[in-house]
Structures are given as structure tokens and as C-alpha cells.
A and B are shown apart, each in its own frame.
Chain A
Amino acid sequence: MVLRGGRILDPGSGIDAVGDLVLVGSRIAGVLANGGGGDPAVRRLAEGAPAISVSGLLVTPGFIDLHSHLREPGFEEKESIESGTRAGARGGFTTLCAMPNTSPTVDTRATVEYITRTAAARGAVRVLPIGTVSKGEEGQELTEMADLAEAGAVAFSDDGRPVASARLLRYALEYARMLDRPIVDHCEDASLSAGGLMHEGAVSARLGLKGNPAASEVIAVARGLALAELTGGRFHVGHLSTTGALDLVRRAKERGVPVTCEVTPHHLALTDEWVAGTVSDGRAYLRPPKGRRPFDPNTRVAPPLRTQDDVEALLDALAEGVVDAIATDHAPHTIVDKACEYGLAANGISGLETAAGVLLTLVNVGRVRLETVVALLTAGPARILAGDQGLEAKRLPAGLGSLRPGAPADVAVLDLRRQWVVEPQAFASRGRNTPLAGVPLVGRVVATIFGGDAVHWELETK
């Protein structure tokens, strides 16, 4: 198959050119830039192959999400591997790293294999399991990380909650080091954030909702950085949301501490004012639709939506290179989990199907560069999966997250100018929980190819 005449942007291999992307079977054959040249073998393959015009569209590697909650096994009413991967496909994601706070938690080889087997049978895209740090996420004993890694776990996390103690996190970092896999921490000081329903600040004070202060995240990130420095283990900050934590990560990186971090699209575009239903800050990039009432439980998420100052700091950090990946923290919930009092609602936003739209809207208003966003959805997370020993050492496909010849034929096609309105009822995800309902976005994923197969298709021809 040939995707003809699009702008091909692959930060992983440094390609940004108008031309043809040639796929053969489940692999990338190569890129033929307009104006001739390129590998003659690829040119011969392209001749006679069925061609699809993507002229005027952007062609990138399929996105990698380091942080998805697919909820299976155990919470299939919220999401399944099948529905979650279809949501991923709609969002341009061809690789989803599945968080292990399922029921049972992903703390044995059997659960890891259940996920990979189910994904192979029913998944629309690739699923890479993340194992828990502690058995049952109970914060007591380490899991058999080597066994989990051998079965396919790409990282370890007790996400949903922080790694319970500094001691446990220290051992986890030390132990995972021999496996060259990161510990992903949900950074929160539980004693400070207990009962917190939203970011602590002027808005929480006005609404009378218990606050979760930024300091809670900053303290937990400081703990992880100190332990990464002590152990040399790879520490990955999940869903970083505060200016203070960002500053700590920046300084640690300057010292050579083995740390990486991710941010979510919602923390890059939404603020605590969304909980109040109206956004007054003039710098806001997105606003709730008129008539939105305060206390929308869909704005409840952990870590909470922060302030516009934090949003600006995170956006600056993208450009600066402090952030390693954009991850969705896709957290689908049922209507019952969310159609209730704010303080009783579950934390989380269903994010896979809006991530690209939100990010491209930020690109369209000129706040962040397209190249940066695409890199943080592809090459950035691929680098974290590869670690020091590379993708092959983890039995992951060579070239994952890029359009290099031989890489998996995982491709996203984006229409940067397409305007659309978020309609949760049309989601493939079972989780319709998003504060973005009714919000207009500019930029959309119009096709996704996984392993050479179209898994999402809104183009005229196929």
C-alpha cells in the first residue's frame, strides 16, 4: 500500500517531507520524497501497489501511549481490551501501555499473558502490559518483576496510587534496574492529598471542595528523584502536572539522574476553572461550552486539573525538551461512576479519542510546534520503552514509533484543519467521561493503520 502525497513527519528518523509512504504487508518499506530519489527498491515496490491519496494530510508513525487504563481484567463495564484498543485506533494510537490496576492486578505472569493473549485475539492495536511494583498494589512486597518482564511487561507501576513507601520505591528502582525497565510512579503524597477533590487554590476555596495541593505532587517527585539518584534505577514520573515538579525534573536531568516524565493532554489544556464551569483566564486555549454548570464530575481527575500558570509551564517544557512523552492517562468509567455527587465520583478522564484533537488545537493556535507534539507521541515514548538496551532486548519490534524501513506498518493520518466537536456518545471507548463534551477542536485523526491494516478510516477511499 502507498500513502501518496502527504506530509510525512517522523521525528524518530528525522523525516519531514512531502511524498509517499510505502507499506508492504505489516512493515514499513520506506519513504519516497517528492522530487525523485529514494531507494530504487522501494520505488519498484510502490509501482503497481494500491495507492491512497493523502495529499494535504499529515502522515506520522502510529502513536504510543505510555499510560492507558484498559480496565480488563475485572472492570469490563468501564472498558475492555477490545473497546479500549478501538478507542486507541480512533485516536491514532497503535501501541497502548496498559496500566496494571485491574482486578486482579497485573502482578503475575498469568495476568500479563492474559492481557497479551486477549489483545492479540481481540485488540485493534498493540497492547504492552505494565506490571505492578507490589503484589496486589498493596505496597508491601515486590512482584516477580523478572518473570513479568519475560512475559512482556514493559514497565512497573502501582498507578492509581503512589508506590507506598520510600523504602519500597528504593527496592523497586534497584531491582528493575537489572531489567532496564522504568518504575512509573503516580506521584502524590497521600497524607497531603487525602480527600482532595480538585487542585487546591482559589477555585477550590470558592467552590468549597477539599483541595489537593501542588505540594503533594512535588514532594512525591522529589522522593522519586532522590531514590533514582541513589539507585541508578530508571524513574518515570506519570502524568506530571505541576510547575514545581517540572522544575525538580529539569534540575535532576541536568545532574544526569535517570528520570523521564510524561504529561497528559488534559493537563496541557484544561485548568481547575473547568470545575467551576466557566473559564475566565484570558490565556485559556479551550473553554467549556456555555451553560456548563459547576461541579461537573467529569472534571474530577488525579492528579487534578491545575492552574493556567501550570499549563503554561508544561507547554513551555514541551518546547524545552524537559518532557519525554505525552501520555493520555485514559481512565474510562461508567455513567454510574460519574453521574453522582462530585465528591463521590471516580477520578479519571476518557482521553484516547480526544488526545490528538486537543494537542492539534494547541498546535493550530501556535502555542506548541507540531513537530514537538508528534515527537512526544512517537519517538519520545519509544525511547522510554527502548531504555538503554534497545527495543529488541525487550522483544519489541525494531523501529517501533518510527517510519524506518522494517518498522511495523503503524501509521496515523491527521487532518490538521478539520474542525469537529467532541461527542462522547460516539466514542468507541465505553468511558464517555470527558469534560470536553461539546467542545470544538481543530485537527483530527482521519486514519490509523496498525501492522498494515486499517483500524480507523475516515478517508474517502480505502
Chain B
Amino acid sequence: MPERRHLLDLDDFSRADLETYLTTADAMQEILSRPIKRVPALRGMSVVNLFYEASTRTRVSFEIAAKNLSADVVNITASGSSVEKGESLLDTVATLEALGADIIVMRHSQSGAPYFVAERVRGHVVNAGDGWHAHPTQALLDLYTLRNRLGDLAGRKVVIVGDILHSRVARSNLWSLLLAGASVVLCGPPTLLPPALPEGWGRRVQVEYHLDRAIADADVVMALRLQKERQQGGLLPSVREYVRLYQVSAERLKRARPWVVVMHPGPMNEGVEIAPDVAHGPHAVIEEQVANGVAIRMATLFLLAGGEL
């Protein structure tokens, strides 16, 4: 594959690119199974985790991944940095450049922010989630998890249920799942799933407003976090009604395939978008997703730094 300088989204990925990431993640998984989980691939390189939004799992996952590859890791969060003093993203990034950051892993509440940064640095940029737009490493780890569970995804039915409108996880997953050959059904209340939304992916995506219908014969069900603010924003009458219509419950899962895989990008609102017994039940792979995240992020850093297996 041509050398990729940044990982901003999966919209420009080919199937071969996906395979490269998954194969590399396998190799990283092997490293993670060793008693000493550390290789010198990124020795002498500095990775900056620049997080403008709260995050636990993604930030820690990148931090562990970078350390496993022997990189030096610096964490910057919006609070407790000069960002709080009103420094612009432009100046923050110029500072990081001057300090010699090789890879900037960034999380930002504004869609597109990593593109702005990527245009202005000599080093590499990894998008760790921007606004509603993209979360490519999450989609890669989801695909990796599914591949391990189900093998080839061609012809598989994946249902993504919840607040699609505001979900960067759903958007990035659409690119990778479609590329891997799966069919995708988006499900959620119409205010959180405008009918024009799938057009951005070339009409290869179905929209279904009734979860019972959407879930029929599903191979995969992915529940998304419901932000409680959506009710105040007027997009939902109540959480109660949302739960009634869209919670992934054991009863509803009976309509899916017997081997159905239940995913959630976290953090979960148990009892809202997902029933607790499902979240911790036999179909859920939620902790596996988290564990695979480290391998995928190791693969990402390794590949961007020019590594080859």
C-alpha cells in the first residue's frame, strides 16, 4: 500500500489497506501475548496524545500502545494546559512541532480538526475521534474484533442502533464495514437518523426505524451511547421512550442469528441503549473490543512510522 502519512478516516482506504492493518494487528496481538510486551519499533520517537475532549479508554489505549512500541509518550488534555488560557489549535500545534512531536494522536470536539492539524505538521497525525465525523481506530478495532469472531464479513448483516446523527463511530464503521463486504442497517429515531444521512455512503446502507425489524437475522448488533443531552435538545421526548423503542435487550436479540455478536464502543449507559444482562451476556464482546484496541493502535502507530512486517 502507498505510504499513508496520517490516519484521519477510513474513507480513502482500500480493501488491501484494511488487510494490512488487520494483519499488522495480528502481529501486535502476538507481542501482547508475550511475558514482556515491549518491542523497540518506535524507540526514540515521541507520541503526543492531544486530547481536547474527555476520554479514558481511547487515550489509555493509545498510551499503552505507544509504550509497548517503546515510544516516549506525552499526554496533553485541554484542562491544565495552555489551551485553557485560550491558545488556539494553530499555536498549540506549532508548539508541539517545535518540541519535536513525531506523532500527534488527537481527540477533538470539532469535526475536521485533525485535518487542520495534518496540513500544518511535518509529523504524523492520528485521529482519535473528531466531533461527529470519524473515529478510524475504533472502526478498525471493531472490524478486527468481528473478523476474529465471524471470519469473513461478506454478506453479514450489521445493525448499528442509536444516535447515528452524532456518532463518529457509526460514520467510520460505515466505511470499513461496507469495504469488508457487510451490509449495514442503521436504526434509531428519525431525529437522530435523518433519511438523507446514508446518501453520504452511496445508498448502500439501509435505514430502519423499528429495531425489531432491523434486528431480524442480524449477525452483529452495535449499540451506540445515547447522550442524555439529546432530550434537552428536543431530539427525544424522553429517555424512557428511547429505551422502550431502541434498547438492545435479550428479548429483541432472539430475532437475531444464534451467533449474534453484540458490540458497544463505550462508555455504556447500561439500562439505556443496552440492557445490563446483554452487556455482560454471552454475545457481548465489549471487553474484547477494548483489548483489541491496543493491538490496532500499536499497528496504527507502527504503520504510520513506516514499519513493515
Contacts and interface: CB of A to CB of B under 8 A. Distances in A.
Whether chain B is bound by chain A comes out as yes
A342 B110 contact: yes
Contacts of B132: 208-210
B265 to A, nearest CB: 15
Interface residues of A, number: 21
Given A205-B196, A208-B134, A340 B88 contact: yes
B89 A340 contact: yes
B197 A205 contact: yes
B16 interface: no
A182 B197 CA distance: 39
A446 B232 CA distance: 56
Interface in A179-220: 200-203, 205-210
A123 B115 CA distance: 39
B13 to A, nearest CB: 15
A279 to B, nearest CB: 15
A343 B110 contact: yes
Contacts of A210: 132
Given A208-B168, A209-B112, A341-B108, A293 B89 contact: no
B112 A294 contact: yes
B90 A339 contact: yes
Contacts of B118: 293
Nearest to B171: A208
Given A293-B115, A340-B116, A344-B110, A208 B131 contact: yes
A340 B90 contact: yes
B251 interface: no
A202 B199 contact: yes
A206 B200 contact: yes
Nearest to B112: A295
Contact of A207 (B89, B133, B194, B198): B133
A336 interface: yes
Interface residues of B, number: 27
B199 A342 contact: no
Nearest to A209: B111
Contacts of B111: 207-209, 295, 342-343
Interface string A285-306: 0000000011101000000000
Contact of A206 (B108, B110, B171): B171
Given A205-B197, A205-B199, A206-B171, A295 B89 contact: no
Interface string A311-351: 00000000000000000000000001001111110000000
A201 B133 contact: no
B228 to A, nearest CB: 18
A130 B200 CA distance: 41
Nearest to B113: A341
B116 A341 contact: yes
Contact of B115 (A295, A339, A344): A295
A343 B130 CA distance: 11
B119 interface: yes
B259 interface: no
A202 B90 contact: no
Q: Which of A207, A209, A339, A344 has the largest number of chain B CB atoms within 10 A?
A: A207
Given A209-B112, A343-B111, A343-B112, 8 more contacts: A206-B171, A206-B200, A207-B200, A208-B133, A209-B132, A293-B119, A340-B89, A340-B90
